[in-house]
Each structure stands twice: as structure tokens, then as C-alpha cells.
Amino acid sequence: MKEVFLSNCEKSFIQKIISEGHRLDGRNYNDSRKLSITFGSGYGSCIVSLGETRILAQVSCEVVQPKQIRPNEGILYINVEISPMAAPQFEANRQTDLTVYLNRLLEKCYKDSKCIDLESLCIVVEEKVWSLRVDIKVLNHDGNLIECASIATLASLAHFKRPDVTRSGENVIIHTLAEKDPIPTVLYHYPVCSTFAIFSNNILISDPSFIEESVCTSNSEEGNINGGLLVVGMNQYKELCLLNLSGAAIYNTNIAHRATLSAADKCKTIVDLIKKTIIDDDNLRQKRAKINFGDIITSNHLQSLSRKDLSICLKNFDVKEQMLQNDTADVMDVEISMEPSKYDVVQSLPQTAELKAKKGASSWIEISSESEEED
């Protein structure tokens, strides 16, 4: 399917509200969406969700022959895949510019910054080394894939443990997880990417959503791009590992400096969160608790629409208050009151509301004793 075209009114609306200090989902310029990391049953698999953007990462390892020029170093391989699951415009098994871009950024951030001790992955020099493969699968694309993918990569690499090996003469024995405790990957430092959308060469917006990303990299009315995406990779010691700009050139020297300052604090909190979740997960595993991706299935968030929340949220908006006042002048109330019979308006996040099917008697169509699936 072709990509949904960004309309001029959407574009100018977003540019306008951003220049006035607002964002579509009610965040401030520096706010990120909610970040959550869930680990799967095996070592090195995790699902990271940043707002509605969701990414699955899986690390696997195998023994291979090392490269000729680096005979005593293991190999790190990163592979990004975007399937039609992420958004309908992507095609299956096809490399797009976005996949190549993501792959290259992640390689720069994790391979070129030398955060992994590759020498510890060596088993026999010039013969056998561990090759780590990180598979990144985009499940839902709602903007800021880079930041989400980098968190997923880092979390899965830090969580991953490889089987222990012993050498006896010529032979190398790989022990199963039951025989010997597996060995964690050694990370010297924890780099994380954070993305900033630049609007009108002056305003920096952290963690842009899908529509904000497409607006800031699109052409303006005069035909030239005056915004862009700035990716800053930083580790927990506030050292810069990666800087990437797509879109228009920056002529405001202040912007890159402001972005790095803001990224430094953000990366620190993200790395702390990753470390904390890994320690919590490790404690649970030692108590032999069963950890599984099935845990992400919740029943406390049932919507009738695939959009989790209405994508427009207002600052200082309370559904309950609005319902009491019965204020139909509000845009959001008008939108909701179109289908009053089937859905209830419930409060979800502080500044937003969502539609939910009314509880109670369901009107299933019963056809004699036969069946009911008239979809």
C-alpha cells in the first residue's frame, strides 16, 4: 500500500500549534512518551514500547570463524526488519531506506562506539569466536523508531547471556544452560540514542510522534525543508557517541548544543531504567519465577478502537469535569457524542479520554440453535 499522504492542513496545523508551544498529545517540548521494557522467557529478548511505538529485540549467538583482520574478536551483527505489521505501507522482506538508515545508526551506536567487549567473545584465536546477532523487529511504528530500537538493542544485549565454554585440548565444549551458569555480555558503557525534531530551525522537540516526524521532514510551502531530525547518541557518562542529522542543515549553532545537553539527562535516566529492570528481572529469575511475553497481555485496557487513546490530548483537560458540565462545545465532546449508544467515554491518562464498549447485555444475534458469527 502507498504511504498515506500528509495533507497540507495537517502540516500547517501542527507547525502552528508547535510554534505556539503545544503538541498534539499534550506533552511539553521536552517530554517523552511512556517507556516500558518487558523481557521474554529466554535471555536477550525484550519488547520495548515508547508510547505506541513497539519494538521486539532478540539476541542470539553462534560460534563462527573470526574475520581475518581481527582474529581475536567476536562479531556483532545487527539486523533491522520492518514488516507490514509496523504500518501497512511497508512491504514484506524488502529493504527500504528506513531499514538501512536504522541499521546503520544502530551499528554506529553499538559497534563503532566499542561498547561491547568483543575480545571476551573469543574462544580460540583465528578459529572460533562467538557471533552475536541482534534481530530488531518493528511491531508498531508510531514515530521515533530510532530511540525505541536503540533502547531495545541495549536492553537485549545487556540482558543476554551466552552459554559457557570449556576447552579441553583441541575440543571446545559448549555447556547447556542447565550444566553451567551462562555468562553475561560485558558492556563498557551504555549508549542510547535520543531523537529531536527540529521545527523552523529553532524549536527542539524530543521524542517526536509519527506525524510530528513526517511534518518536520516534509517540504514547506516554498518547496524547501526547514526542519529535520537530529539523533544524539550518548552513554551514561554523558559522552557523545553518535550525532546524525537528516533534513535541512542547521544554521543555528545553538541547537546542537541544546540537544546534547537535553539528551545527556535523558540518556542517563533511560540507562538507569534499563539497569534497574534487568536487575529486577534477574532477581525474579533467581526465585524461579516464570517470565514470559504473555505477561504483557492485560485486560484492564479494553478499547473499542484500535487507537489506544484519541490522538489529540489537551493540557488541563478532565473528562469527568467535562461530563458533569455537559459541555458539548468542546471539540472532543462533539467527536465522542456522535456514537452515544454504543460506547462510554472513560478516562485513561490524565489528559485524555477514550472510547469503550458499554458493559452489560450484549446484543448477540442468536439464530435458532445454529451459530452466531454473522460478522
Partner 1 sequence: MEIEDENNFKLRPMKCELNYLSRSDGSAILAQGETVVLVSVNGPLDIKSTSQSIEKATLEVLFCTKGGKPSVADRFKENIIRQTCETAILGCLYPRTGISLTIQELEDFGGLLTCTVNCACLALLNSGIAMRHMVAAVCCAVSEEGNLVLEPSYTQVQSASALLYFVFDSRERNLVTGFTEGSFSENTYEEALARCRLASDVVFDFYRDIVKQYSDVI
Binding site for partner 1 (CB under 8 A): 1-2, 40-41, 45, 47, 52, 54, 56, 58-60, 81, 83-88, 92-93, 133, 135, 137, 139-142, 290, 292-294, 296-299, 301-308, 342, 357-358, 360-365, 370-375
Least CB distance to partner 1 at residue 258 (A):
31
Q: List strand residue ranges (DSSP E) for the chain, in order.
A: 35-39, 45-50, 53-64, 75-82, 122-124, 128-140, 161-162, 165-168, 171-174, 183-184, 192-199, 203-206, 228-234, 240-247, 343-347, 353-357
Least CB distance to partner 1 at residue 161 (A):
15
**Residue 312 carries which side chain, given as an amino acid letter?**
I
Nearer residue to partner 1 within complex by CB, 91 or 318: 91
Least CB distance to partner 1 at residue 93 (A):
8
What is the Cα–Cα distance from 195 to 245, expressed in whole angstroms? 10
Nearer residue to partner 1 within complex by CB, 21 or 88: 88
What is the Cα–Cα distance from 241 to 108, expressed in whole angstroms? 8
Least CB distance to partner 1 at residue 357 (A):
5
Nearer residue to partner 1 within complex by CB, 224 or 362: 362
Nearer residue to partner 1 within complex by CB, 23 or 141: 141
Nearer residue to partner 1 within complex by CB, 201 or 303: 303
What is the Cα–Cα distance from 27 to 18, expressed in whole angstroms? 11
Least CB distance to partner 1 at residue 88 (A):
4
Nearer residue to partner 1 within complex by CB, 2 or 34: 2
Q: Nine-digit cell at 106? A: 544502530
The three-class DSSP label of residue 6 is coil
Kindly report the backbone phi and psi dihedral angles of residue 321, in degrees, each rounded to the nearest multiple of 5, phi listed first: -60, -45
Least CB distance to partner 1 at residue 83 (A):
5
Q: Nine-digit cell at 205? A: 522537540
Q: With contact defined as beta carbons under 8 Å apart, do 52 and 301 qualify?
A: no
